Amino acid sequence: MLVGTGSDVGKSVLCTALCRIFLQDGHHPAPFKAQNMALNSFATPDGREIGRAQAVQAEACRLAPHTDMNPVLLKPNSEHTTQVVLNGRPIGNRSAYEYFRREGRDELRHAVQEAFDRLRNQYNPIVMEGAGSVSELNLRNTDLVNMPMASYADADVLLVADIDRGGVFASCYGSVMLQTPDDRKRIKGIIVNKFRGNLHLFDEGRRMLEQICGVPVLGVVPMLDGLAIDEEDSVALEQKRHSWVEGKVNIAVVLLRHISNYTDFDTLERDERANLFYTIHPDDVERADIVILPGTKSTLDDLYHLRRCGMAQAVIHAHKCGRAVVGICGGFQMLGQSICDPDGVEGTIAELPGLGLLDIHTVLTAEKTTRQVTFEWNGSTCSGYEIHQGVSDAQTMVVEKEGVIGTYVHGFLDNPAVIEWLLNKIPHTQSAFKGIPANPQEFKEKEYDRLADHVRHHVNIPKLYEIMSHD
């Protein structure tokens, strides 16, 4: 198990690397994270929902994603409530207080342990991932995902620290020393992640860290520039809020407050013909060549906010000026004539008019649609997946009208045929750019191998195998 000194220290990416390394070495690994909190999710082949990070890790293992890899998924609705997804199906909304109280935890604990046992009976090794900080003392008695899960699995634990944010000595020492004596014994190594500069400058620091923590440092992993591995949450979006670039197709993604599945745009972002950025400014939207409304966990709340801040009017104006507008999932719903929530699925807003760019009406429903799909586009068979609450009266999987495209399909823009059509067939970009992007799956495979090579070079993998094989 990889646990962290805090959130966003790189646990997910390092787990992905280990999944691919173990696969390369002839083993049959599988990922596992008992509980994940993220709005980036993925539909499994059997139509269930798990965190995107575990789907990526499964892909690194060359496995189909399964709910046993992430039995509990928390999808925040707001600052105060979250949707709880158990074994791929929503079981209701909970406040933080309701979710983390001790009552009812045994049922969830039993479910995650059963999921782990099913995986353990099929694969070896299991690459487990913790969540957030491993030393949240106030949550220890209700914790499902960190050291209690490691104890149940009898897992060896590696502590991951982010040196780029500073405080690596204090965070590592505190994370180790705040454990119970039994849990402290489980921590067999430290990985210092996100290093910048000359590695030899940390040689003395490495020895000092081992001395104060009493745990070997298995590796110091430098930043890997340009790594195109899907992110787990929206922290990475702060680095993508650049703006206009001359000579490229400028694509503005509206940065919704409850944005979800923004990995929908990773393939398009990597296309050298495009400059894709996230924005909250109406001026950026009106200048862009293509405007995208992404998915959201709270469609009505985000639509209400877009109207208040002027972004809704900017999208409509961009369309009138001949810009292409694309809506994915919740963004698709916003492009229609109306959105109704008669049962209060999302909250207190019962109905809002949409932007009126597509002839659809949407009714939000408690039942969630999760499925993998295929569709035809411009003579090619394409694929993706749906995760949404709500039914729209669209007659086709992809709706197109006068330069406006809407669909429930996540991964719509991962398909080369769609990207080519969007960049070359929209009137204002026609004939301006040539060439077909690389096959997305082949690109991902190369990225997993590049990540594995990087981690293998900087982490003592033979020592890790020694730790794992020790009784």
CA–CA dist 310, 318 (Å, integer): 12
Pairing of strands 81-86, 89-95: antiparallel
* Residue 286: how many other CB atoms lie within 10 Å: 16
CA–CA dist 81, 95 (Å, integer): 4
Task: Give me the mean pLDDT over the 164-182 stretch.
Answer: 95
User: Residue 435: pLDDT band by 50, 70, 90 thresholds?
Assistant: very low
Clarify whether residues 120 and 35 are in a common domain. yes
- CATH number of the domain that residue 428 is part of: 3.40.50.880
Q: Are residues 162 and 82 in the same domain?
A: yes
The rounded mean pLDDT for the chain is: 90
Domain tally, the chain: 2
- On the question of pLDDT at 47 being above 60, the answer is yes
Per mean pLDDT, which of 231-245, 277-291, 430-444 is the most reliable?
277-291
**Phi, then psi, of 223 in degrees rounded to 5:** -55, 140
Q: Which of 329, 382, 388, 458 is catalytic?
A: 329
pLDDT-based confidence at 465, cuts 50/70/90? very high
Q: How far apart are CA 248 and CA 289, in angstroms?
A: 9
Distance, in Å, from the CA atom of 302 to the CA atom of 286, rounded to the nearest integer, reads 19
396 and 260 housed in the same domain: yes
pTM: 0.82
Q: Which two tokens mark 393?
A: 């009266």
Give the residue numbers spanning the domain of 310. 234-437
Average pLDDT over residues 434-439: 52
Q: 186 and 240 share a domain?
A: no
pLDDT for 126: 98
Average pLDDT over residues 190-211: 95
Q: Give the position of tokens 């208040």.
A: 308
451 in the same domain as 425? no
- CB-based contact 293:334 (threshold 8 Å): yes
User: 106: which residues sit within 8 A by CB, 6+ positions away?
Assistant: none
Give the pLDDT score at 93.
82
HEC per residue, the chain = CEEECCCCCCHHHHHHHHHHHHHHCCCECEEECCEEECCCEEECCCCCEEEHHHHHHHHHCCCCCCHHHCCEEEEECCCCEEEEEECCEEEEEEEHHHHHCCCCHHHHHHHHHHHHHHHHCCCECEEEEEEEECCCHHHHHHCCCCHHHHHHHCCCEEEEEEHHHCCHHHHHHHHHHCCCHHHHHHEEEEEEEEECCCHHHHHHHHHHHHHHHCCCEEEEEECCCCCCCCCCCHHHHHHHCCCCCCCCEEEEEECCCCEECHHHHHHHHHCCCEEEEEECCHHHHHHCCEEEECEECCHHHHHHHHHHHCHHHHHHHHHHCCCEEEEECHHHHHCCCEEECCCCCCCCCCEEECCCCCCCEEEEEEEEEEEEEEEEECCEEEEEEEEEEEEECCCCCEEEECCEEEECCECHHHCHHHHHHHHHHCHHHCCCCCCCCCCHHHHHHHHHHHHHHHHHHHECHHHHHHHHHCC
Same domain flag for 43 and 166: yes
| C-alpha to C-alpha distance for 134 and 183, rounded to whole angstroms | 11
Same domain, 168 and 306: no
| Residue 426: pLDDT band with limits 50, 70, 90 | low
Residues 196 and 303 in one domain: no
Neighbours of 312 (CB within 10 A): 23
Residues 143 and 267 in one domain: no
Q: What pLDDT does residue 424 have?
A: 80
Rounded mean pLDDT, 128-137: 95
With 90 as the cut, is the pLDDT of residue 454 above it?
yes
> Over 90: is that where the pLDDT of 383 sits?
yes
Cβ-based neighbours of 463, under 8 Å, separated by 6 or more: 189, 216, 218
Q: Tell how strand 324-328 and strand 351-353 pair up.
A: unpaired
Is residue 367 domain-shared with residue 450, that is, in the same domain? Answer: no
**Is a pLDDT exceeding 60 seen at residue 118?**
yes
Q: Are 356 and 337 in contact (CB under 8 A)?
A: yes
Query: Is 28 part of the annotated catalytic residue set?
Result: no
| pLDDT for 431 | 41
In this structure, the answer to whether residues 218 and 304 fall within a common structural domain is no
CATH of the domain at 136: 3.40.50.300
Stretch among 55-69, 121-135, 249-263 having the lowest mean pLDDT = 249-263
Contact indicator for 324, 405 with CB cutoff of 8 Å: yes
133 near 161, Cβ under 8 Å?
Answer: no
Cis peptide before 462 (omega within 30 of 0): no
Q: One of 66, 388, 410, 458 is an active-site residue; which one?
A: 410
CA distance linking residue 128 with residue 155, whole number of Å: 8
- Rounded Cα distance between 338 and 319, Å, is 18
Mark 255-278 as b/e (b = at least 16 C-beta within 10 Å): bbebbbbbbbbbbbbbbebbbbbb
* Lowest mean pLDDT, pick from 19-33, 276-290, 308-322, 436-450: 436-450
Query: Which residue in this structure is represented by tokens 């979800």?
Result: 260
For residues 288 and 110, give the distance between their C-alpha atoms in angstroms, rounded to a whole number.
50
Residue the block writes with tokens 């454990």: 179
Least confident interval from 91-95, 180-184, 438-442, 452-456: 438-442
Residue 388 is among the residues annotated as catalytic for this protein: no
The pLDDT value given to residue 153: 97
CA geometry: angle at 165 spanning 164 and 168, to 5°? 85
350 and 302 co-located in one domain:
yes
**pLDDT interval class at 362 (50, 70, 90):** very high
Residue 429 pLDDT exceeds 60: no
